[in-house]
């Protein structure tokens, strides 16, 4: 059966060069990086080279990169440490964050009594910067946690504006860049961001590995205890092959960025045009002309009774898309992201998130449209 993968915001296929590099490490470098013999030193060396590669692509210091098992862990680590170690009293975030941030702050609100303020989301799914500036004017020790690119609708946070506002108000700034790292350049020397997080499987690297950037001078304490790895900030034997694979994936993604971004941008334009010409009443969550170049969230002019049926039909025809983030895409309820800003009538209509990569082609989109027409 024909198979078309259009769910790259959930996860991405590995680049062949990444598999080659990881296979070599798995075969030849099994030493524990904490061992002092040559086997261990070789593994340690690979980790430090990978850290440098990652730091170079973000224009930061290698010592500012801490490896974690995934983006979720990195988000949890920063949020918990900000409350516990930096004595943050209030977190400003939004209702459209990934659950790795949203559910975490909800728990910390109950557990530590930290104040959580949610910035308003406008009708196009973007942050209301006026409301944000108002919130910041309250004089409290604050961490701002706002994602760069939204994983369901592709709206983009203005990192320049938000990081400057945070600096002006002496608030710490954490941004979940899981959907943007490897897909757009971020210069940490230019931007006064305090913390960011990434996950390799979103940029054609392996699953089970990510990293946190922690700005030099900010002192956090570990969440995982019991080892001195990662300067004592994250105990546990390092996953050397995954770290090497992540660095290779990021390096390649940034090397090929211009060319691949152009390809994917053209594909998205084609997709949006095809959807509009086939279904004149289609509408979008987030303005597709302004959202990130690989994500489109289309609200289709189908009856609400068709929600589960049409996803099933796409799946039966070998097409992988989702409704929201992977963990909730099987549900017929609208996602928490859409609920945060869409009016009731649009929430009732079926939506799909189509997320592209440079491995997709126009044929994939034609096939999607052909199957959608049969629903
Ligand atoms: N943050 C965002 C915006 C995401 O899209 C995801 C993954 O879907 C995560 C965090 C979680 O990353 P991980 O799968 O590495 O835990």
pLDDT for 243: 98
Q: Quick one: which H or E segment has residue 65?
A: strand 65-68
Could you check whether 4-13+256-372 and 16-255 share the same CATH topology? no
Say how far residue 355 (Cα) sits from the centre of its chain: 13
Give per-residue pLDDT as tens, 51-93.
999 999 999 999 999 999 999 999 999 999 999 999 999 999 9
pLDDT for 326: 55
Asked if 204 contacts 15 with a C-beta cutoff of 8 angstroms, the reply is: yes
Asked if 228 contacts 34 with a C-beta cutoff of 8 angstroms, the reply is: yes
Average pLDDT over residues 96-106: 98
pLDDT for 257: 97
Asked if 94 contacts 223 with a C-beta cutoff of 8 angstroms, the reply is: no
Beta strands in 129-194 (DSSP E): 142-145, 172-176
CATH number of 4-13+256-372: 3.90.1150.10
Q: Which residues contact 187 (CB under 8 A, 6 or more apart)?
A: 58, 59
Sign of CA dihedral 274, 278, 280, 281: negative
Average pLDDT over residues 170-181: 98
Give per-residue pLDDT as tens, 241-267.
999 999 999 999 999 999 999 999 999
* Angle at alpha carbon of residue 35, lines to 30 and 40, rounded to 5°: 40
DSSP three-state, residue 49: helix
Q: Delimit the domains of the chain by residue range.
A: 4-13+256-372, 16-255
Structure-token pair, residue 318: 């070998």
- The percent of the chain in helix, strand and coil, each rounded to the nearest 5, is 45, 15, 40
* Cα-to-centroid distance, 284 and ligand 1 (Å): 22
pLDDT for 328: 52
Gap between the Cα atoms of 40 and 62, Å rounded: 20
Rg (CA), the chain: 21
φ/ψ (deg, to 5) at 72: -60, -45
* Cα-to-centroid distance, 204 and ligand 1 (Å): 14
Q: In testing the pocket of ligand 1, which one of 74, 102, 177, 178 has its CB within 8 Å of the most ligand atoms?
A: 178
Q: In testing the pocket of ligand 1, which one of 77, 150, 180, 199 has its CB within 8 Å of the most ligand atoms?
A: 199
Q: Which residues are catalytic?
A: 327
Gap between the Cα atoms of 112 and 100, Å rounded: 18
**Which CATH architecture group holds 16-255?**
3-Layer(aba) Sandwich (3.40)
Give per-residue pLDDT as tens, 113-145.
999 999 999 999 999 999 999 999 999 999 999
Give per-residue pLDDT as tens, 284-343.
999 999 999 999 999 999 888 877 788 889 999 999 999 865 545 556 678 999 999 999
Give me the residue label for tokens 């592709």.
Answer: 154
pLDDT for 327: 47
User: Atom 13, ligand 1: which residue's CA is nearest?
Assistant: 71
């Amino acid at each position: 059966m024909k198979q078309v993968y259009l769910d790259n915001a959930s996860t991405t296929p590995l680049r062949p060069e990444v598999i080659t590099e990881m296979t070599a490490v798995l075969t030849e470098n099994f030493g524990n990086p904490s061992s002092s013999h040559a086997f261990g030193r070789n593994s340690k060396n690979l980790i430090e080279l990978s850290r440098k590669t990652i730091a170079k692509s973000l224009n930061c210091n290698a010592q500012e990169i801490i490896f974690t098992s995934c983006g979720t862990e990195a988000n949890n680590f920063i949020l918990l440490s900000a409350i516990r170690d930096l004595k943050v009293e209030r977190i400003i975030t939004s209702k459209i964050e990934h659950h790795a941030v949203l559910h975490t702050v909800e728990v910390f609100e109950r557990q530590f009594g930290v104040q959580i303020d949610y910035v308003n989301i406008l009708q196009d799914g973007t942050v209301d910067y006026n409301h944000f500036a108002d919130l910041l004017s309250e004089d409290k020790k604050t961490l701002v946690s706002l994602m760069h690119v939204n994983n369901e609708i592709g709206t983009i946070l203005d990192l320049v504006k938000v990081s400057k506002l945070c600096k002006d108000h002496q608030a710490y700034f954490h941004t979940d860049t899981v959907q943007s790292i490897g897909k757009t350049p971020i210069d940490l020397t230019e931007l006064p961001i305090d913390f960011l997080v990434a996950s390799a499987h979103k940029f054609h690297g392996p699953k089970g590995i990510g990293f946190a950037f922690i700005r030099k001078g900010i002192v956090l304490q570990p969440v995982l205890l019991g080892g001195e790895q990662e300067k004592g900030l994250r105990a546990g034997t390092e996953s050397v092959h995954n770290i090497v694979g992540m660095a290779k994936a990021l390096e390649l993604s940034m090397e090929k960025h211009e060319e691949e971004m152009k390809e994917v941008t053209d594909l998205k334009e084609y997709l949006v045009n095809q959807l509009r010409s086939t279904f004149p009443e289609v509408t979008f969550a987030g303005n597709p002309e302004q959202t990130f170049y690989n994500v489109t969230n289309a609200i289709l002019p189908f009856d609400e009774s068709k929600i589960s049926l049409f996803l099933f039909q796409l799946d039966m025809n070998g097409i992988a898309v989702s409704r929201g983030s992977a963990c909730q895409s099987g549900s017929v309820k609208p996602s928490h992201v859409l609920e945060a800003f869409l009016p009731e009538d649009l929430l009732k209509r079926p939506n799909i998130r189509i997320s592209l990569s440079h491995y997709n082609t126009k044929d994939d989109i034609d096939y999607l449209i052909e199957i959608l027409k049969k629903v």
